[in-house]
A and B are shown apart, each in its own frame.
Chain A
């Protein structure tokens, strides 16, 4: 089972994600530089966090034009699980794989803090091990993390069950307190918080089990018995 971790110039959570996939969940992970292509038989793709192209112009917009995004798109169409975390989410949104846009936080500051997520959709490849409304303590770290959609799109998202995670309280002013969404078929998921920072009890002061289920869900989806 191979999971691809896509690396853009300025990605900085790629190594953290790789560590979690390989050392914590025993998956076979591989880095893919943004100018390379993705193999057709890959089992899942993760776009990690960071500051691709220094967040210039808008977070994620330049990376969204990378050659590898065309492959990501193709894999997405085939139903392969794809996860974008933080900057990875911003890139998925900017490349049109996910709806909405991520704006500057209402505080206008970069925010690094722990918060609680609520699981709203437990049908995706990254949430199938959760109960609905389950709580996940998890850190956020972003400057442009305010998810925005207009009311019409929000209605659509709700109707099509595309809201995956919401914050339990107001964090950055995002529409409907949305923290993560998926595409219509549910295989492409984007989220602002960092699950890779929360799955090891040594660095998670609260509870590392809920975040772990994000990766365990992927294992189940791919039929891996760990």
Chain B
């Protein structure tokens, strides 16, 4: 772990002397990309971060939204990509642990976990299978043990992640507004380290996350201990209820170094601490090792001496370590001692604020030709193609994954994983709908429109449950920012997200940047990930079973936008074409109309139309309810297109509404009034999924056969290759 020479001279000039070796380690950890956001921070400011529901407090690691009735929802997103690429089980598990502690540090109880998982081609690549399988087990073992339901997420495979893994985890918390920790410190307060012991594991982790895999430090392996984390959650919430906590911070990347310096900086205080007081796993650890160790499951608490006794009793009850490691000063210094001897003494403000960079950017060469389409071999048998498609890893049901996650614990899960967004009931009588979405295939072809598309897709998903989007989390994952072409894609994505957020008045309540995601074969495709939180005041739309005679109404236009589609990439092995674009006014109109028809309780269900296009979205409805459907492609809203384009285009802002015949008139009236583009495109019944164009049958599949393939193919691939 080291500073660049430019940074070293900067540090020397700021402190006016040579740093000690411990100081060097502390600063290197804190000035790493992972902790300081030095390449991205200047630009992140463009995102709108305020709104009527957003609560801003100093020192929070998570976003806070006021959801009414005296309650708040908190949310945060993190990734654990580098660690998961070398040790998928531990990497994914500790990724969950990290983001859960972010939620806890606001003083809220974590109530749901979401995971976004990305790997190489699991059909061909054994390594990708191994990574996938173990990452899923890691998320499962950790979240299940904590008793926090993992209720949503996504899984995607793409060659660009060969020998690599993206493991993103988001967590949502809930609590009373009055219980939020108002981070502060008073004279004479003490600094307490609580939780697991500090060991040598994970030393250099945050630095590791900021290096590409080739130059990785393979010693950065972290062992998950969900049992300790569970006890920490219980202990902290009990201490919170007893009002024992003045300030609270989780330990993540950079370990104590970052926690101490960021807390001191945020609260405008100094912290003096003694490394000998830290409960360690090994007896011979050096001060700098203790300061940068990234041992998991630890929290930093500031409290006063009278409350300390009660805090210690709580820790004793829950059998977790609790060491008073230092005290609050008012010199704004991070002062690290070992006994009497000083090992580091730096201004918190210098440590916590790395000089921000303004990196050059340049439009990538490849984008000049990427929209050109090649001639494809015509499809002769669409039914056969469709079966192959339903079995493909990106389209197949993800039930093998989410059935390993306890998604019911906490008894809040009203809409369970498997549909669009998942929905939780809240104690104020409202409901929270959440979904995370990414789409690297489209973001590669058009970083701006692709990112906007992820945003809209996540919104669409929560809208399908009847929820109004109230907050957004973004996670920006790219290759090395030092490559101007990559940095350009980063900026484009960010600008796109900013435009959409401003236009739709959805504030960004938190996020994360993960750079240097490089595999031996090069940088990953741009992979922004968007999480959307939606609020439902009255009642969510819970999918009602489709029965014979129900109508299928499609809202939104299908356009010739197959760039980055699963159809191009999986069936034709073609990367390129025109990326779907969101028309902001159409998007808004459609969202509003869907919310209106749900409020009027007209539909039996509303399903989002996205990956795999109309063909897959309709099949999903049929397979879930085991009922057939006849769809006429010639009635699909939008310009006239060849059948494969209508079937598989991934145009945005489209919804599939299932509705009883008796409600169809009312629906039409609302949609007409709102000037929405829509058509009745099909009718349910029978045992077959049928698409026709005029009199010509295009697809004719038995639902039961399709369902079996779709449900089982991912599991079979993982277990048997």
Chain A residues contacting B137 (CB-CB under 8 Å) are 109
- What's the minimum C-beta distance from B89 to chain A, rounded to whole angstroms? 14
Of A9, A55, A141, the residue contacting B408 (CB under 8 A) is A141
Q: A202 CA to B416 CA in the complex, in Å?
A: 12
List the B residue with the shortest CB-CB distance to A196: B411
Give B222 Cβ to nearest chain A Cβ, in Å: 16
Nearest B residue to A199 via CB reads B411
Contact of A197 among B140, B147, B411, B425 (CB under 8 A): B411
B405 cross-chain contacts in A, Cβ below 8 A: 110, 112
User: Contact between A10 and B230 (Cβ–Cβ < 8 Å)?
Assistant: yes
Flag if A12 contacts B414 (CB, 8 Å): no
A54 at the interface (CB under 8 A from B): yes
Residues of A near B403 (CB, < 8 A) are 109, 111-113
**Are A51 and B411 in contact, CB atoms less than 8 angstroms apart?**
no
Residues of A within 8 A of B (CB): 9-10, 12-13, 15-16, 19-20, 33, 49-51, 53-56, 109-113, 139, 141, 143, 194, 196-197, 200, 202-203, 205
B146 CB within 8 Å of chain A:
yes
> Smallest CB–CB gap between B178 and chain A, Å?
20
Which residue of chain A is the closest to B415 with respect to CB atoms?
Answer: A205
Binding site for A on B (CB under 8 A): 137, 140-141, 144-147, 225-227, 230-231, 317-319, 402-414, 416, 425, 542
26 A–B contacts from the bound complex (CB under 8 Å): A9-B230, A9-B318, A10-B227, A10-B230, A10-B231, A12-B230, A13-B147, A16-B409, A16-B411, A20-B411, A33-B317, A49-B409, A51-B227, A54-B227, A109-B137, A109-B140, A110-B404, A110-B406, A112-B403, A112-B408, A139-B408, A196-B411, A197-B408, A197-B411, A200-B411, A205-B416
Question: What residues on A are CB-neighbors of B225 within 8 Å?
Answer: 54
Query: Which of chain A's residues has its CB closest to B410's CB?
Result: A16
Question: When the two chains form their complex, are residues A112 and B404 in contact, meaning their CB atoms are under 8 A apart?
Answer: yes
* Chain A neighbourhood of B425, CB < 8 A: 202-203
State whether B406 touches A9 (Cβ < 8 A).
no
- If the complex has contacts A9-B231, A196-B411, A203-B411, are A50 and B404 also in contact, measured as CB distance less than 8 A? no
CB contacts (< 8 Å) of B145 on chain A: these are 10, 12, 51, 54-55
Residues of B within 8 A of A53 (CB): 227
Residue of A nearest to B234 (CB): A9
Nearest-CB distance from A10 to chain B (Å)? 6
**Beyond the given A110-B144, A200-B411, A202-B425, could you list 13 further A-B residue pairs with CB under 8 A, ordered by the A residue number?**
A9-B227, A12-B409, A16-B411, A20-B411, A55-B145, A109-B137, A109-B404, A110-B406, A141-B144, A197-B411, A202-B414, A203-B413, A203-B414
Contacts of A15 in B (CB 8 A): 410
Interface core residue of B402, B405, B407, B411 (most chain A CB under 10 Å): B411
**Bound complex: CA A49 to CA B146 (Å):** 12
Bound CA–CA A143/B425 (angstroms): 26
Bound Cα distance from A19 to B414, whole angstroms: 16
CB atoms of B411 and A112 under 8 A apart: no
Residues on A with beta carbons closer than 8 Å to the beta carbon of B406: 110, 112, 141
Residue in B145, B405, B406, B413 with the greatest tally of chain A CB atoms within 10 Å: B406
Chain B nearest CB from A33 CB (Å) reads 7
Return chain A residues, CB-CB under 8 Å to B408.
Answer: 112, 139, 141, 194, 197, 203
Give the CA-CA distance A1 to B227 in the complex, in Å: 33
Cα separation A146 to B482 with both chains bound (whole Å): 53
Decide if A141 touches B140 in the complex (CB within 8 Å): no
What's the nearest-Cβ distance from chain B to residue A57, in Å? 12
Bound-complex Cα distance A203 to B141 (A): 24
Closest residue to B227 on the A side, CB-wise? Answer: A54
